[in-house]
Amino acid sequence: MQRRTVLGWLAFGPFFAHVHAQPKSMEGVKKMQDNWKTFLAPGTPVPSAAEPLKLGKDEWRKRLTPAAYDVLREEGTERPGTSPLNAEKRAGVFACAGCGLPLFTSEMKYESGTGWPSFFTTIPGAFGTKTDFKILYPRTEYHCARCGGHHGHVFDDGPAPTGKRYCNNGVALKFIPQSVKG
């Protein structure tokens, strides 16, 4: 390892380890899931999955960018490595770009090396699933519990303790940074 790399990890490694520390147990995951609202500013309106959002195709096209429409409404896939959210490191919440439903927190995100934002767990109740056979091999597709928008696929090759990798299209997400409390 090069000297600069070692010095960089000595200086910044503890910071990154703290920001991206993953829970060592399922109890830690549960606590993380239960505390997701702490990533939002007090009084932030939070849509509920119990309040479905159903719009016609024309309304969705007005609301979404063409790329987001393709992914969320047509079950498309963005090219890997194209989303700025793949490199997002700030504390905050990742919400559905279609309806604003909170889906993940920054604590749930990890670098999978796939080129898409990846998460090892979700905010409870955020998604529904179905089996997808588009590539002839069965995969578990997940979609927003509020608007039905397609987000990606979940795989069993993620980090402990969940072993899950929610591989999400970045255009299907919007990032809400955590407010700085002063």
Asked if 96 is an active-site residue, the reply is no
On whether the CB atoms of residues 152 and 158 are closer than 8 A, the answer is no
Catalogue the long-range contacts made by 108-114 (C-beta closer than 8 Å, 24 or more residues apart): 108/32, 109/20, 110/20, 110/22, 110/158, 110/159, 111/20, 112/158, 112/165, 112/167, 114/80, 114/165, 114/167
Q: Which of 96, 99, 144, 167 is catalytic?
A: 167
On whether the CB atoms of residues 150 and 72 are closer than 8 A, the answer is yes
Query: Which amino acids are annotated catalytic?
Result: 167
